[in-house]
Amino acid sequence: MNEKNRQDEGLKTGGGWAAVAAELRSAIDSGKHAPGSRLPSERALSEQFGVSRVTMRRAIAELEGEGLLRVARGSGAYVRADMPVRFQLSNKVRFSKDLTATDANLTRKVLSAKVVPANADIAARLKLEPGEAVLEMCVVAYADALPVSVVMRCCSAGRFPGLAEKFGAMGSFTAALKDYGVTDYWRRSTDITARMPTEVEARLLQQSRLTPVLAYTGEDIDADGTIISCQIGCFAPERVVVTV
């Protein structure tokens, strides 16, 4: 079977480059291929997955583009030792489940929490009247000691009094929200764009102000469709891979 036919056959049997990349990505995330380790040769991987070397090469290029692999000409593909955190974007965003990193301890810290009058933008996002009291929490997520995201999370201070303290004690917004009768919630929307960081964001992410960030905004809703919180934040682009 020639190269083109082998590639087509791989695609027909679900072994196209995207499927192969997904399997390799899963193996890396699970620790099967440790950070810094060299992957099997292109030929060996092609035989393992039953696809052409062209297909295999495309899958490796995809993971290299995501920052999971480092390809050294004449040497092979290596799992990045400075493994980026993966953020799975879905309609149910949960820190513990959707932000993952191989061999990394993921934590969050509330740097500040204060009740302030809602400005026009935050009031519109939360469906409140401008000037209503909102709780603003600045939260930084870390992979080990390295900051990967910073976000300002806002919610109605009247509906969620003491939420910052509960989150600090429980370490989970999902768990803390249950004390207010919110048994489950969903991400209504998430918008992501690239921009330059503010001075504060660059400092908290420990990066240069000349390096762009992946900025995002989103709103969460409860089972009744009522908005419970909004987030305005950003990811350090070299440390996070967003998967849709």
**Lowest-confidence range among 88-92, 186-190, 202-206?**
88-92
Residue 199, token pair as written in the block: 């001075």
Please check the confidence at residue 6 and state whether its pLDDT lies above 90.
no
- At residue 147, the pLDDT reads 87
- Would 3-79 and 85-243 be classified into the same CATH topology? no
What fold does the segment set 3-79 form as a domain? Arc Repressor Mutant, subunit A (1.10.10)
* 132 or 11, which is more confident: 132
Domain boundaries, the chain: 3-79, 85-243
Lowest model confidence (mean pLDDT) among 48-57, 66-75, 87-96: 87-96
Q: Each residue of 24-47: pLDDT tens digit?
A: 988 887 878 877 788 999 999 999
The single residue listed with the structure tokens 């009740």 is 115
pLDDT tens-digit map of 135-162: 999 999 888 777 889 999 999 999 999 9
The average pLDDT across 101-119 equals 83
Only one residue has tokens 């087509």, namely 8
Backbone φ, ψ for residue 98 (5° rounding): -100, -15
Q: What is the pTM of this model?
A: 0.65
Band (pLDDT 50/70/90 cuts) for residue 98 is: low
Q: Is the pLDDT of residue 14 over 50?
A: no
Give mean pLDDT, residues 63-81: 80
pLDDT at 104 over 90: no
CATH architecture of residue range(s) 85-243: 3-Layer(aba) Sandwich (3.40)
